[in-house]
Amino acid sequence: MKKYKRNIFVALVCFLIVIILNFALPRLLPGNPIAYLTGFSEEDMTAVQYEQYEEALHLDENIVVQFGYYLKSLADGTLGYSFKKDETVAKLIGERLIYTLQITFPSVIFSTGVGLIWGLHCGYKKDRKADKISTWFLLVLNTVPTFLIGIILMIVCCFSNDWLPYAGLNSMGQDAGAWAYFGDRIRHLILPVLTLTVSMIPSRYLIMRNTARKIADEKYILYAKERGLSDRKIKFGYMLKNIAPPFITMVGMSVSTCIGGSLVIENIFSIHGMGSLLTEAVYSLDYPLMQGILFVTTLLMVVSIVVTDIICILINPRARWTNEA
């Protein structure tokens, strides 16, 4: 229980640090903070506009009052205002986040399932031919950049064979709400989801395989074999209970990495999700929007860590009563 409390505490501290940095950096960087917080240079502003922005951003108040207004923007869900796009940051992110989650969420599920089952099997059957080949192959795959995996899949599935669409989330002319629209969305999602899934499988496989190898020679596993229990019963009835908590924790802590990989994939497959929104924010120097994206990404990471730690406590009852788990 103590370990899980520590994980949650560290996640919350990191979240607090991100909030403070988001607020402080535009005000500490060299130059005028109005330029950072609006994305417009002083040369592009009239004196009247300068005063309006200064008042709107509360820069005429002391730093404590400014921080209070910043926290208020987080609490009320607006996350600030993008002067470049003339819209609240929360609305801009909300419109795009759903597309990113359509790629990230199934990829996390598929890669977790494949990595868990494959790694558990190879770790249990350690040093067999399947274990050696799988480990060698996934170690090599782990070094391949996500964008290269996406490009290879695009060439094979789209350009060489015309099996799947390669851009966007829907074809032109599809009626929203129809079954055809849903089926078309699934076809467009296959390659992005497959790309992110393939890129995440190695890390999940390796941690599961290495952990399974360590406990494959434990006395209770050897005793279960002597009793004649099936491999399936031993792997999923005995080994998985001890391996699952650290594996689930690793998956939760990798959510931000998954989102980062999704941002790259969105640019490859021309999907207008958080990736394209972040690209637009960087090129237009829209700092409030960049800060909002960082905040939301960190929030998702913290929530995933808290949720996975709760799951670990629920599946490992000893963690509720001992300080060692």
Domain CATH number, residue 287: 1.10.3720.10
**How many beta carbons lie within 10 A of that of residue 214, not counting itself?**
12
Report the pLDDT value the prediction gives residue 320, as an integer from 0 to 100. Answer: 52
If asked whether residues 251 and 102 sit together in one domain, one would say yes
SS3 track for 157-201: HHHHCCCCCCCCCCCCCCCCCCHHHHHHHHHHHHHHHHHHHHHHH
| The pLDDT value given to residue 4 | 62
pLDDT the model gives residue 280: 83
My answer on whether 53 and 43 are in the same domain is yes
Of the three residues 67, 89, 111, the one that is the final residue of a domain is 89
Q: Could you tell me the two tokens for 72?
A: 């208020």
Domain boundary among 89, 106, 140: 89
* Full pLDDT tens readout for the chain, 325 residues: 566 677 677 778 888 888 888 888 777 777 777 777 777 776 777 778 778 877 877 877 888 888 888 888 888 888 888 888 888 889 998 888 888 888 888 888 898 889 888 888 888 888 788 888 988 999 998 888 888 888 898 898 888 888 888 777 777 666 666 777 778 788 888 999 999 899 889 988 888 888 888 887 778 778 877 777 787 888 877 787 777 777 777 777 677 667 777 778 888 888 888 878 888 888 877 888 888 888 888 888 788 877 777 777 776 655 554 544 4
pLDDT at 325: 45
CA 287 vs CA 40, 59, 76, 209, 284: distances in Å: 10, 16, 19, 42, 9
Contact 81, 55 (CB under 8 A): no
- Same domain as 221, residue 179: yes
Task: Give the DSSP letter of residue 126.
Answer: T
Q: Same structural domain for residues 96 and 190? A: yes
pTM of the model: 0.78
Residue with tokens 């300068």: 50
Whether 44 and 96 share a structural domain: no
Q: Which residue has the tokens 């996406």?
A: 150
Residues 80 and 94 in one domain: no
pLDDT value at residue 25: 79
Asked if residue 243 and residue 111 are part of one domain, the reply reads yes
Which of 59, 89, 119 is a domain's end point?
A: 89
Asked if 150 and 82 sit in the same domain, the reply is no
Q: What is the pLDDT, as a whole number, of residue 177?
A: 63
For residues 167 and 68, membership in a common domain is answered with no
Statement to judge: residues 57 and 167 lie in one domain: no
Q: Please count the structural domains in the chain.
A: 2
Judge if 65 and 101 occupy the same domain: no
52 and 133 inside one domain? no
| Cα 113 from Cα 111, distance rounded (Å) | 6
Structural domain boundaries enclosing 44: 2-89
Query: What's the per-residue H, E or C state across 231-289?
Result: HHHHHHHHHHHHHHHHHHHHHHHCHHHHHHHHHHHHHHCCCCCHHHHHHHHHHCCCHHH
